[in-house]
Amino acid sequence: MNFPIFDKNIKQKMLKTIIVDDEDHVRGILRKFLKKYCPQIKLAAEASSVAEAHELISRHHPDLVLLDIQLGDGTGFDLLKKFESPDFKVIFITAHDQYAVQAFRVSAIDFILKPVNPFELAEAVSQAQKLVLQELHVKLNALENNLRRDMGARKKIVIKTLNNIHVIDINTLTHCESDSSYTKVFTLDQQEIMTSKPIREYEELLSGFGFFRLHRSFLINLEHIKRFEKTDGGYVILTGNAKVPVASRKREELIELFNKISE
C-alpha cells in the first residue's frame, strides 16, 4: 500500500504536533506511525488529560493536535472549548464513532477510528500539511502585497477609550499588545492607548494594512521593524526601540516573509 509522499519539490513546513490520548500504548503506536510514515511531523509533546493538553498546547503552539475524545478529566471537545479561536489543526483519533458528526462540526481534518490504520493517519496528516501551507501562503502573499502596494490616501483608525476617542493614522501605529481582554495600542509619538477590545479584533481590523501577529500577545506593523534578532528565542526591534518577542511557530513565517520581500 502506497503512503502519501512528502513532496520534496515544495518548500516544506514541519508540522509541530502534540498527541493527546489517555492510553500509553495508543500514544506509543501513534508515535511509531508518525516516525515511520509522516516525516513532515515534528513531535513536540504528549498529553494524557484535558488539563495537561491545555497547558502543553498553550506552551508549544502546535500546528496539529492528534486528539482522543474520551479523556480521564473530560473530552477532546472540552479541550477545544478552552481556546477562543484555535489556531491549530485537529485530527480526532478515537474508539467512539458516535462523535464523528460533532468532530467535523468543529472543523476537524479527519476522524480516525481505533485501532489506527497507518495509511489513514498518513493521509490525514498529509491533508493537514496542505491546509497549513495553503493558509501560510495566503497570509504571506497578502502581507507582501500590503507592504509593496501604494496605500494611496492615508488610512485612519478610531480607538475608543473610557475618556477619549482617538483618530489615528494607521501607519503611525507601531504595535499592539494584549493585556488580558484589553489591548494596549502604541504609536510613533510614544502614545500608549489602553482599549477594551481584545487583540484579535485589532488583528482582523488591521490585517489588510501590513500588520502581523507574531506572538499571541503582540501584533506589529511590519513597516516599523528595524531588525530581527535571532537570539534569546527571537524578537524584533521596532521604531521607537520597542522589543517584541517572536513566537517559535511564527519565526518561519516571518523569515519567509522577509525573503519574499527581498526577492
CATH number of the domain bearing residue 168: 2.40.50.1020
Q: What is the pLDDT tens value at each position of the chain, 263 positions in all?
A: 444 433 333 346 789 999 999 999 999 999 999 999 999 999 999 999 999 999 999 888 899 999 999 998 999 999 999 887 788 999 999 998 888 888 888 889 999 999 999 999 999 999 999 888 877 776 666 566 655 554 444 578 888 887 778 888 888 999 999 987 789 999 998 889 998 888 988 988 887 788 889 888 999 998 898 888 887 778 899 998 899 999 888 888 887 777 665 55
Domain with 21 in it: 15-145
Of 170, 232, 116, give the one whose Cα is nearest residue 124: 116
31 shares its domain with 84: yes
For residue 154, what are the CA distances in angstroms to 38, 169, 194?
A: 48, 7, 23
Domain count, the chain: 2
CA distance 226 to 239: 6
Residue pair 50/71 in contact by the 8 Å Cβ criterion: yes
* Residue 193, in any domain of the structure: yes
Residue 1 lies in a domain: no
C-alpha cell read off for 120: 489513514
Asked if 45 and 135 sit in the same domain, the reply is yes
Please check whether residue 9 lies inside any domain of the structure: no
The C-alpha cell of 117 is what? 490504520
Torsion of CA 22, 23, 28, 30, to 10 degrees: -70
Which domain CATH number covers 121?
A: 3.40.50.2300
Q: Are strands 41-47 and 15-20 parallel, antiparallel or unpaired?
A: parallel
Is 10 among the domain residues? no
Q: In this structure, are 78 and 166 located in the same domain?
A: no
The verdict on 203 and 131 lying in the same domain is no
pTM of the model: 0.58
Whether 59 and 100 share a structural domain? yes
Query: Are 121 and 185 contained in the same domain?
Result: no
